[in-house]
Structure 1
Amino acid sequence: MREEGRRRGRNETEEERADRMWVELIQEVRVAQTGVQILFGFLLTVVFQQKYATLPDSDQVIYIVTVILGACATGALIGPVSLHRLVAGRRVKPQAVRLASGMTFVGLALLLATMTCSLLLILRVATHDPYVPWVVTAVVAWYLVCWYGLPLWARRRHTSWSDHPPAARRPDAGDTGGGREAGS
Structure 2
Amino acid sequence: MVTGAGDGGSAAPGRDETPEERADRQWGELLQELRVVQTGVQILFGFLLTVAFQQRFGQLSDGDRTLYTVTVALGAATTGALVGPVSLHRMLTGRRLKPETVAWASRFTVAGLVLLVCTMASALLLVLRVAGSDTVAVWLVVGMVVWFGFAWFVLPAVARHRAVAPKERE
TM-score normalised per structure 1: 0.82
Q: Using the aligned pairs only, state the percent identity.
A: 56
CA distance in 2, matches of 1:20, 1:160: 25
- The alignment status of 1:102 with 2:98, answered yes or no, reads no
Aligned to 1:116: 121
Aligned to 1:34: 39
Aligned residue among 48, 73, 83 for 1:78: 83
Q: CA deviation at 1:142?
A: 0.6
What amino acid is aligned across from residue 16 of structure 2 in structure 1? N
CA distance in 2, matches of 1:83, 1:113: 24
Which structure has the larger Rg over C-alpha atoms?
1
Aligned to 1:171: none
CA distance in 1, matches of 2:147, 2:135: 20
Q: CA deviation at 1:161?
A: 8.1
The Cα offsets for residues 67-90 of structure 1, whole Å up to 9 and x where unpaired, read as 000000001100111111111111
Structure 1 gaps, min length 5 = 1-6, 164-184
CA distance in 2, matches of 1:60, 1:66: 10
Aligned to 1:24: 29
CA distance in 2, matches of 1:129, 1:20: 46
CA distance 1:92–1:35, change in 2 (3 Å): same
Q: CA deviation at 1:42?
A: 0.1
Aligned residue among 158, 161, 164 for 1:156: 161
Aligned to 2:54: 49
RMSD across aligned positions (CA): 1.5
TM-score normalised per structure 2: 0.88
Aligned residue among 127, 133, 145 for 1:128: 133
Structure with greater helix percent: 2
Work out the number of aligned pairs and report it: 157
Name segments (4+ residues, structure 1) moved above 6 Å: none
Structure 2 gaps, min length 5 = 1-11
